[in-house]
C-alpha cells in the first residue's frame, strides 16, 4: 500500500523499520523504495498451503500515522525461490485518505542468501481502483523475522558505542496554509535560499506555472512527488524576490495542491498551497 514516506537518519530509521509490528508477527519485514526517492516501512505475514499458494496480509508505514493493513494473496515457487503476491483489499487504515484512492501493490521477487541472512529482493507496480490516478512503481527489500531481530540487537549495541552526536543547530519550522489570491511575505534570515516544490499527496496531473519577479521559471509543469528545487541569493536579487504560483490544471482530483518548502539558514517555512484552476498565490521573500 503506497503512501508518501519520509527519509530519516539512517541508524534510527533502520531500528524503527525493523521493530516488530507485534509479538506474534511472523513473516518478512523491511521497506519499499518508491520511485527511488521515498522510503516506507513494510511487512508481510503469510501462510502457504500445500500447493504453495500464499495468503495473509501486509502492513505499510508500521506504527505510523498512515499505517495500513491490506489482504494479500500470491504464489511461491520453491525451485526458483520466487515469491509473487498482490494486495487485494484494505483491511483497515489510520489514513484519512479515502480507500478508493489507495494504490494497491503487485510484488515480484525472490529469496537470496546474503551474509548468512535470507533476504527477499523484488520490484513492485501499483494500481488504484480510480483509473485517473497515477500510481508509482519501485523496489522492495525484506528479511526473515529471526534475521531482523538479530540485526536490531547488533544495531542497538553499535549505536551504544558511538560518541554522542555534535550539537546540531536549532531549526525553526513555520507551517502556513496559502489560499488563492493571497500575498504571503516572509522575512528571511540568510540570503541563500532554497525553494522546493512537490506534491506529496496524489499524482493526479496537477500542473502549475511559477513566476519569479514576473518572469516564468516553470511553465505548466506537472507536480509529482519528485521535488523541484531552486537555489538563489537574495542579495543578488536586490534583497527581495517574489514568486507567483498559478494553477494551470487540477488533474483528476479537485484543487491543485503544492507544498512549497523555503529553507534559509536555520529557518524552514512550509507553505501548503491549494488552488482551483486559474487561481494564483504570491509569496514574497525579504531580507531584514
Burial (CB count <10 Å: 0-12, 13-18, 19+), residue 14: middle
Residues contacting residue 152 through CB under 8 Å, at least 6 positions apart:
15, 18, 19
Does residue 246 have a pLDDT over 90? Answer: yes
**Domains defined along the chain, listed by start:** 10-161 (2.40.128.30), 173-286 (2.60.40)
| pLDDT, mean of residues 47-73 | 92
Cβ pair 11, 54 in contact under 8 A: no
Q: Name residue, grid cell 529557518.
A: 267
pTM score, whole prediction: 0.49
Cβ pair 93, 65 in contact under 8 A: no
Q: 181-196 pLDDT, tens per residue?
A: 999 988 888 888 888 8
pLDDT of residue 153: 66
pLDDT of residue 107: 96
| pLDDT, mean of residues 237-247 | 88
Does residue 133 have a pLDDT over 70? Answer: yes
| pLDDT, mean of residues 13-36 | 58
pLDDT of residue 62: 87
Confidence of residue 81 (pLDDT cuts 50, 70, 90): very high
* Residue (of 30, 40, 35, 39) closest to 68 by Cα position: 40
Confidence of residue 155 (pLDDT cuts 50, 70, 90): low
Amino acid at each position: 500500500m503506497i503512501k508518501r514516506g519520509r527519509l530519516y537518519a539512517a541508524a534510527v530509521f533502520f531500528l524503527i523499520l525493523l521493530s516488530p509490528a507485534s509479538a506474534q508477527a511472523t513473516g518478512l519485514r523491511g521497506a519499499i523504495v518508491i520511485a527511488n526517492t521515498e522510503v516506507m516501512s513494510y511487512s508481510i505475514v503469510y501462510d502457504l498451503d500445500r500447493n504453495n499458494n500464499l495468503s495473509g496480509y501486509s502492513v505499510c508505514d508500521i506504527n505510523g500515522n498512515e499505517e495500513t493493513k491490506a489482504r494479500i494473496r500470491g504464489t511461491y515457487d520453491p525451485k526458483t525461490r520466487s515469491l509473487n503476491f498482490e494486495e487485494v483489499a484494505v483491511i483497515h487504515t489510520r489514513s484519512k485518505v479515502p480507500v478508493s484512492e489507495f494504490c494497491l501493490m503487485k510484488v515480484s521477487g525472490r529469496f537470496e542468501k546474503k551474509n548468512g541472512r535470507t533476504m527477499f529482493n523484488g520490484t513492485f507496480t501499483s494500481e488504484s481502483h480510480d483509473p485517473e490516478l497515477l500510481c508509482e512503481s519501485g523496489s522492495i527489500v525484506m528479511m526473515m523475522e529471526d534475521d531482523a531481530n538479530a540485526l536490531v540487537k547488533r544495531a542497538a549495541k553499535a549505536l551504544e558505542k558511538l560518541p554522542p552526536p555534535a550539537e546540531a543547530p536549532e531549526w525553526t519550522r513555520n507551517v502556513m496554509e496559502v489560499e488563492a489570491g493571497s500575498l504571503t511575505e516572509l522575512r528571511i534570515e540568510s540570503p541563500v535560499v532554497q525553494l522546493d516544490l512537490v506534491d506529496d499527496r496524489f499524482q493526479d496531473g496537477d500542473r502549475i506555472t511559477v513566476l519569479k519577479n514576473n518572469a516564468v521559471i516553470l511553465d505548466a509543469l506537472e507536480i509529482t512527488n519528485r521535488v523541484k528545487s531552486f537555489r538563489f541569493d537574495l542579495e543578488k536579487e536586490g534583497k527581495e524576490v517574489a514568486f507567483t504560483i498559478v494553477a494551470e490544471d487540477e488533474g483528476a482530483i479537485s484543487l491543485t495542491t503544492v507544498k512549497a518548502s523555503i529553507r534559509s539558514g536555520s529557518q524552514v517555512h512550509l507553505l501548503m498551497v491549494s488552488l482551483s484552476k486559474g487561481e494564483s498565490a504570491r509569496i514574497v521573500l525579504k531580507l531584514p
